[in-house]
Every structure is written in structure tokens, then in C-alpha cells.
Amino acid sequence: MNVRAATLDDLFLLMEIAREAGPAAQWSVEQWRNIFRSQNPARLAWICETREAGPSGSAEWRAVGFLVAQASGPDWELENLGVLPEFRRRGAAIALISALLAAARAAGASRILLEVRASNQAAARLYEHTGFCRLARRPGYYSNPPEDALIYVHPF
């Protein structure tokens, strides 16, 4: 697995992964573009890639996941994370979260916060496995369908 910074050139790739990933937030093109325009607070995006045999038999990189975060002084927020279904439980999400944790630690962040749908138990287990602790429950946070959010924090 390789994790690299995403750029505006990756916009449609990010949107495609989000669409196929299911539980990831489904943002508009403008919301995705704003990730690369927003400087206050700073927004960061990473792509996780894996090597696969291409049509000619040579190894080629394939994007299999992404993570978007907001970097705002001591408090960071994991905003969106998605991994293609066929690459789940293979280390892509952990590699992306590790990149986020390393960047936040290097920048002197105090903590990273995130919200996840209460029904998304796989994501909750992933976050707990990577050092996040459940902080609170926010009733009715999500719509389409309506659902509570679980708030997690990763302190440094």
C-alpha cells in the first residue's frame, strides 16, 4: 500500500471511490473542489494505492481509498474516509488513518475528532482499533436516512 497526497487532478478519482465505497459521505463536485481551495482551515486529502498487474502484465498503481481531513490548529477533524469494497480489511483504511495521525502529530495537533453513523459498526471498530475513543452520541445528526452520530476522539 502507498499513501500519497491527493491533488485537484485526482478530483474525479476521489468522487468515483466515494461513490463506490458506499458509507463515505457523498459530496458535490464543488464540495470536493473546496478541499483543494480551502486554506482556512486547511484541508488535507490522501489517496491509498495498491499495485496490481495491468493488462500488459506490468505492475500498475490503483487507487483504492481516500481520506479527507480538516487541520485547524490543535483540533483536527477526519471528515471523510472511503475504501473500495473489494479492498476493505486489507490495510488501506489503516494506512490512510496512519498518514493522518502522523501529519496531525507533526503539526502539533492536540486531538482529531470524527463523526460516524451509529449503524456503521465496521467503521467504529476501525476507529477504535486505530486509537480513537468514543466521546459522545449526537442524536439525529445524519439525514437520508435520519440517524444518530457517534463522536470519536483521538488525543495526542
Q: Which residues are catalytic?
A: 115, 127
SS (H, E, C) the chain: CEEEECCHHHHHHHHHHHHHHCCCCCCCHHHHHHHHHCECCEEEEEEEEEEEECCCCCEEEEEEEEEEEEEECCEEEEEEEEECHHHCCCCHHHHHHHHHHHHHHHCCCCEEEEEEECCCHHHHHHHHHCCCEEEEEEEEEECCCCEEEEEEEEEC
Whole-angstrom distance, CA of residue 129 vs CA of residue 14: 25
